Structure 1
Amino acid sequence: PTLDDMNDRLDAPEIHDGIRDEGGKLTLEIYKCRKPIIAAINGAAVGIGATMTCAMDIRLASEKARIGFVFNKIGIVPEACSSWFLPRIVGLPKSLELCFTGDIIDGAEAKDIGFVTNVLPAEELLNEAYALARRIAKHSPVALALTRQMLYRNSAKGHPLEAHKIDSLGMFYQSIADGKEGVSAFLEKRPAEYKQKCSTDMPSFYPWEY
């Protein structure tokens, strides 16, 4: 297979089933997801166990976590689109170090480099992940879905004007939908009751081009 095959026949059965890495198929679906995704890493996350979490939005780890990008050690290369995600999380120099050495890092080092946001005792990990999910779930599902895609896609653009175009459309559509309820709830000092669903009520400009 050639790069032309990947560009022109990506979904042809012989490419889709015979060439494309399974982790990449998974992380591309995670990338397209309209809901925030939280990873709770408890134990070994090596190889695909590490790269699949790169596509998730928030990563928590327990004190038992061991994370490694060990591909070069066994003569292969990183997969699951991690060469796109990992440098956006920890920066290019640290990504190169992690991949070149294949070192296994613990939760504390993962937090130090920004790969995870918090390290907890193993028995508290899932409770913290669920508590964080509940906090996020109180917000507008459509606003969350748009924000998720805006941050991923706009941060990869070459000029802030591209972000401005999408920000403006997002603000316009949300201000005549869930945004009205959000402002009213804030002024009235009550919990918001959002009606929009990300499965049915995404604005017409979504999804925009990569």
Structure 2
Amino acid sequence: MADYAEITYAVAERVATVTLNRPEARNGYTIRMADELQAAMGRADRDEGVRVVVLTGAGADFCVGADLSQGGFDFDPEEGPGRHWQEPAGRCSKRIFTMNKPVIAALHGAAVGGGLTITLSCDYRLASEDSRFGFVFTRRGIYPEGASAWFLPRLVGMGTALDWMISGRVFAAAEALEKGLVHRVFPTGTVLDEAYRLAREIVGTTAPVSVAVTRQLLYRMASAESPFPVHELDSQLIGGLGANPDAVEGVLSFLQKRPPSFGMRVETDLPDYLPWLEK
């Protein structure tokens, strides 16, 4: 079991909970936290005993963004971080992007700057009524990170992305819901319970290989130049259903009016022709 200093990691009922755990600093984001989040997401993704990840924060806030309490960043501004260095928010958002397991962000209090960009690649963002959001980079003289300039327009449209990122203003949960940044808003104090409820539904009703393929199809094929390459891949997937035990089980469980028992494993049973798999 890995030890973490700035997050916690726990698994129960096939749900991994990853918690930002610097409540005394309002979960200010650090390079160590970035490294630990990247490691924890990889750990959950490799564990066949985990079906869903819930990402949340300890204390009153989810994350107030980069920890600037020392007056700067975690590298020497004179020398820079080196040409192969990767900024810390993107370390988390990219790892979530590549996952085969769905990730639910349970947000409360402040989720601003890097504390918001790390959630943009999550499958669900659930908010509390007390949530406050902001892409505040221009108000600090810095730049959007976490690959947010790629994710955000795809979630909310270019017009809203421009408004939020250029102004750097903080906005409430109601606006985030209206514009599509979050999926649902819940009464203060209940969002984590609602995240677990959603996670249990996914665990109990869906097939892990089907979820993994569907999740990556949506992201990887969204920028295809036309529907034709997407349909080519669809055709391979659908054409193989006759030899797919989960598809057989899905139909039988429906006809027999019982919960499904899917046996295929992400580790061994992903179709080997998926174009985003490492060869």
Q: Same fold (TM over 0.5)?
A: yes
1:184 aligns with 2:252: yes
Corresponding residue to 2:178 among 112, 125, 143? 112
Contact 1:65 1:106 in 2 (8 A): yes
- Match in the other structure for 2:233: 166
Cα shift readout 1:150-206 (whole Å, capped 9, x = no counterpart): 011111111001211221222234442211110111111111100011122211113
- Match in the other structure for 1:131: 197
Contact 2:104 2:123 in 1 (8 A): yes
Structure with the greater relative contact order (CA < 8 A, sep ≥ 6): 1 or 2?
A: 1
Cα shift readout 1:103-162 (whole Å, capped 9, x = no counterpart): 111111100101001111122111110011111112100000000000111111110012
Distance 1:199 1:68 in 2: 37
Give me the TM-score of the superposition, normalised by structure 1: 0.88
Distance 1:133 1:91 in 2: 27
Structure 1 or 2: larger helix share?
1
Structure 2 counterpart of 1:25, one-letter code: R
Distance 2:126 2:175 in 1: 12
Q: CA deviation at 1:34?
A: 0.2
Distance 2:207 2:248 in 1: 11
Indicate the SS of the match to 2:83. helix
Give me the TM-score of the superposition, normalised by structure 2: 0.67
Aligned residues: 196
CA change 1:175–1:123 in 2 (3 A) is farther
Distance 1:27 1:56 in 2: 8
- Match in the other structure for 1:45: 111
Distance 1:115 1:43 in 2: 15
Distance 1:31 1:208 in 2: 12
Task: Give identity over the alignment, percent.
Answer: 43
Corresponding residue to 2:138 among 72, 76, 85? 72
- Match in the other structure for 1:154: 221
RMSD, matched Cα: 1.7
Contact 1:173 1:203 in 2 (8 A): no
1:143 aligns with 2:210: yes
Cα shift readout 1:35-77 (whole Å, capped 9, x = no counterpart): 1111111111111111111111111100111110011111111
CA change 1:191–1:48 in 2 (3 A) is same
Instruction: Identify unmatched segments of 5+ residues in structure 2.
Output: 1-80
Distance 1:119 1:200 in 2: 37
